[in-house]
């Protein structure tokens, strides 16, 4: 019998402000969401359901202003499932290939469902006959502690294209966690998604990332739309608990535009400080009341094109670098990382043209 995790706005954690030092503050006791994820994940690890045992990963902060968090995870590079052949950002779901309907049912931790204060599950808009569910299962090739996969109703066989529901639950998952080190992300097809079945990743990384407080430029602040001013170039949204549905809808307008234009993209969701215009004091800069949602449009990557050191996907663009081999882990510099990532970003003229197109698109919607 699959466990049910029913939640409401009452379960959102109001703030996870930073402590001193390089690590986010750890909540004691953890929120019930964290307790469920961590207990379920550890249980599956102890039962041998993973492709390898994930111990404490060697970690170092690369010297330089960007504070890249490098980790050595050789086994993930060697033993993860072979990625599917992706030929298009709009590729259709193929039931013959691996998908999350084919997993061992023991890998499922629980099903998430949004409820009212009384605990009754709310229906998904457009599917009024049944509540919408998010299945949470362990990633059997984990990149960090608690690495899990969020799959919106696997039986619907949705391709790897974001929906408003998926974005909303991704944001809400970060708000449900009392640990500011809990992150959620998404790789589109052509941006190192390895399975063409709609899913997001979630995991814990208890090191601060530059993206949590990176400076931004307002593009359309009334829509919560900003441009990140530091490398790598991308867009940013910010949502506190009462804004989740509105921001998720706007983000989906952006990702739909990118899919329609065949532009690959990665998303990364993390607790972060409010963007410019909403910061009043130093305390606000350390605040983690809301969620920062970064979107990086990028050059599409199809076929077996992989870097030897690390692939450039959601966590690498956010500043977390899981290295595949010890030599690169020990020798790679901040400049090396920048040079690798730069190869996957849109040229400046294309990025600025897209920025204007998205701004106009959101203004007219």
Domain ranges of the chain: 4-364
Of 197, 199, 201, 320, which residue is the catalytic one? 199
Q: What is the pLDDT of residue 255?
A: 98
Q: How many other C-beta atoms are found inside a 10 Å radius of the C-beta of residue 126?
A: 8
**CA distances for 238 relative to 216, 292, 328, angstroms:** 11, 5, 34
**CA distances for 96 relative to 93, 99, 137, 154, 197, angstroms:** 9, 8, 21, 14, 12
Residue 174 tokens, joined:
């970060």
Identify the CA nearest to 192 among candidates 292, 291, 69, 322: 322
- Report the alpha-carbon distance of residue 341 to residue 336 in Å, rounded: 9
Q: DSSP readout, 283-327?
A: HHHH--SEEEEEEEEE----SS---SS---SHHHHHTEEEESSHH
**CA distances for 250 relative to 223, 224, 365, angstroms:** 7, 8, 9
Could you tell me the sign of the dihedral formed by the alpha carbons of 328, 332, 335, 337, in that order?
positive
Is the domain spanning 4-364 CATH 3.30.390.10? The answer is: no
Contact by Cβ (8 Å): 258, 188: yes
Q: Clarify whether 199 is annotated catalytic.
A: yes
User: pTM for the full model?
Assistant: 0.92
Provide φ and ψ at 102, rounded to 5°.
-105, 5
**CA distances for 123 relative to 109, 116, 128, 183, 279, angstroms:** 22, 11, 5, 26, 36
pLDDT tens track, the chain, 365 positions: 789 999 999 999 988 876 554 455 555 689 999 999 999 999 999 999 999 999 899 999 999 999 999 999 998 877 676 777 888 999 999 999 999 999 999 999 999 999 865 444 445 444 333 458 999 999 999 999 999 999 999 999 999 999 999 999 999 999 999 999 999 999 999 999 999 999 999 999 999 999 999 999 999 999 999 999 999 999 999 999 999 999 999 999 999 999 999 999 999 999 999 997 665 555 666 778 899 999 999 999 886 556 678 999 999 999 999 999 999 999 999 999 999 999 999 999 999 999 999 999 999 98
Residue 105 tokens, joined:
């049912």
Which residue is associated with the tokens 């030897």?
308
Provide φ and ψ at 173, rounded to 5°.
-60, -40
Query: Could you tell me which residues are beta bridge partners of residue 90?
Result: none
């Amino acid at each position: 019998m699959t466990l049910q995790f029913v939640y409401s706005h009452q379960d959102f954690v109001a703030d996870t402000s930073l402590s001193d030092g390089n690590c986010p503050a750890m909540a004691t006791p953890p929120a019930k969401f964290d307790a469920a994820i961590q207990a379920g994940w550890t249980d599956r690890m102890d039962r041998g359901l993973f492709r390898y045992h994930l111990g404490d990963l060697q970690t170092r902060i690369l010297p330089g202003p960007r504070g890249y968090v490098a980790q050595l995870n050789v086994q993930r590079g060697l033993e993860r499932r072979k990625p599917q052949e992706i030929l298009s950002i709009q590729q259709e779901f193929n039931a013959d290939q691996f998908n999350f309907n084919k997993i061992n049912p023991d890998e499922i931790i629980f099903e998430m469902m949004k409820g009212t204060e009384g605990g009754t599950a709310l229906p998904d808009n457009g599917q009024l006959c049944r509540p919408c569910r998010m299945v949470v299962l362990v990633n059997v090739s984990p990149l960090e502690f608690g690495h899990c996969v969020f799959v919106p109703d696997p039986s619907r066989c949705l391709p790897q294209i974001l929906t408003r529901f998926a974005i909303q639950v991704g944001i809400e998952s970060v708000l449900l966690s009392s640990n500011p080190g809990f992150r959620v992300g998404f790789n589109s097809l052509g941006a190192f998604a390895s399975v063409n079945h709609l899913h997001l990743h979630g995991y814990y990384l208890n090191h601060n990332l530059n993206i949590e407080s990176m400076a931004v430029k307002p593009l359309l602040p009334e829509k919560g739309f900003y441009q990140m001013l530091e490398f790598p170039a991308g867009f940013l949204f910010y949502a506190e608990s009462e804004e989740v549905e509105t921001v998720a809808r706007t983000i989906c307008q952006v990702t739909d535009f990118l899919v329609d234009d065949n532009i690959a993209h990665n998303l990364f969701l993390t607790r972060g400080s409010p963007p410019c215009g909403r910061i009043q004091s130093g305390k606000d800069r350390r605040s983690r009341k809301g969620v920062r949602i970064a979107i990086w449009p990028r050059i599409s990557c199809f076929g077996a094109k992989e870097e030897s050191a690390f692939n450039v996907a959601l966590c690498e663009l956010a500043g977390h670098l899981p290295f595949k081999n010890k030599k690169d882990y020990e020798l790679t510099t901040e400049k090396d990382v920048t040079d690798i990532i730069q190869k996957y970003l849109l040229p400046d003229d294309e990025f600025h043209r897209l920025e204007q197109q998205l701004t106009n698109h959101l203004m007219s919607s």
